[in-house]
Amino acid sequence: MRHPRLACSLTIAFGGTGTRGNSPMANGKWTKQELLSKPIKHVDITKFDGRSIIDSYRNMAYSSRTLANAADIYSMMLKDKECGVILTLAGSLISAGLKKAIITMLENNMIDAIVSTGANIVDQDFFEGLGFKHYIAPGSPEAPPVDDMTLRNMMIDRIYDTYINEDDLRACDHATYEIFNAFEPGAYSSREFIEAMGAYLANNSKYAKNESIVKTCYQKRVPIFVPAFSDCSAGFGIVLQQTEAIEEGRGQVAFDSGKDFRELTDIKLACKDTGLLMLGGGVPKNFAQDIVVAAELLNERKGGKARGDIGMHKYAVQMTVADSRDGALSGSTLREACSWGKVDVVHEQMVFGELSALFPILASDAYHRKAWKARKGFKFADLFEKGDGMPTFSKGKLAKSK
């Protein structure tokens, strides 16, 4: 997963003049306040109607036609009342301005479960739920006015053409530490930790009005799974919690990735048909696809057939810029996944293109076609019992459950 905070030694430093065009900053240099002055604004899919674009794209070629096909398949998922829709997220999508679109889909029962990288859920969405922002970087990545070493020294992190205040990220790290520290010692799924994060935002007057996918999922009972949970601010939070617990001689909390897999597989077992809407690839893509095989293995334990008793994902759409020719999973085709018994090939579509440009059109198209009005959310989060060790919240304060 691309995460600049964990790979700062690999960044490439570009020379910069310290000016925007011909207008020098104070003393010929940028200040941190100037660099972090223009927040990213999230696209609102209710404000434009994507249907006319999709209708036009059907009669075009290349990515326009595949996007139209993908939009039709997603609409089919929403019309199928027996189908649970699983959204997967990889890459830096929330920082790019897609948060509000996903929240609109959640609020209107267009998504039933999420599998994501940790950066999208914790470093970007929970981060914004705490009131922090992402910022538009001046200039361009090809000709930046400030080099990356200078950004590092100013505590500014860069995601291509977007800036983040590292001081704010440290506050986010500490918030995850506080939440994790409120759990009783033991191992928990990422879903349990993220549910606690959603409750923390929803029940705290300081944060309750902030838009957040984590908060909305908690309220709509949509579970979020992050199989590589350590690879984000949650990882820093767990390192702080475990180190402090060791020093003080008390119990530690830990991430149980096996429980993540079992719980997500329980959703497949509980739902007759499933559809995948995959933004990017990576671990979330494979994790969501693999639950078909895991469900088969559990079915075989009870005498079921290896192929046939458990349905493959009935619908599947993936948007990605990854190449299929290197054998890596991110760009592997959905037809290839059929050979593994994961995805049916009747209703599947690969869309090769950049997500921030294409996904809002698909989402707006689905929103305005209104197939979601006839469906109810599955509330899959209610499948799982609340563990005894999870914290409770009262007026924004954390209290350990006994």
CATH for the stretch 41-379? 3.40.910.10
Token pair 């999973």: residue? 329
pLDDT of residue 53: 97
User: Given a cut of 60, is residue 302 above it in pLDDT?
Assistant: yes
| Across 271-298, average pLDDT | 90
- Judge contact between 35 and 138, C-beta under 8 A: yes
Per-residue CA distances from 122 to 156, 214, 254, 299 (Å): 18, 8, 16, 34
The closest of 131, 286, 164, 329 to 232, measured between CA atoms, is: 164
342 is catalytic: yes
Which residue in the list 268, 342, 376, 379 is annotated as catalytic?
342
| Across 69-88, average pLDDT | 96
- Judge contact between 94 and 124, C-beta under 8 A: yes
Query: Which tokens go with 395?
Result: 């007026």
Domain boundaries, the chain: 41-379
Which of 122-126, 211-215, 291-295, 396-400 comes out lowest in average pLDDT? 396-400
User: Given a cut of 90, is residue 222 above it in pLDDT?
Assistant: yes
Query: How long is the chain?
Result: 402
| Across 84-96, average pLDDT | 96
Q: Give the E-state strand segments of 104-199 in sequence order.
A: 113-116, 135-136, 156-159, 162-165, 186-188
| Across 147-158, average pLDDT | 95
- Looking at the chain, the whole-number percentage of residues with pLDDT higher than 70 is 89
pTM equals 0.89
3-class DSSP assignment, residue 84: strand
Query: How many Cα atoms within 13 Å fall on the side-chain side of residue 269?
Result: 16
Across the chain, mean pLDDT equals 88
Mind listing the pLDDT tens digit for each residue in 320-354? 987 777 776 677 776 677 777 677 778 989 999 99
- Judge contact between 329 and 297, C-beta under 8 A: no
pLDDT of residue 397: 58
Mind listing the pLDDT tens digit for each residue in 234-264? 888 899 999 999 999 999 999 999 999 999 9
Which of 96-100, 132-136, 159-163, 296-300 comes out lowest in average pLDDT? 296-300
- Judge contact between 294 and 311, C-beta under 8 A: no
| Across 205-228, average pLDDT | 96
Dist CA 93 CA 117 (whole Å): 10
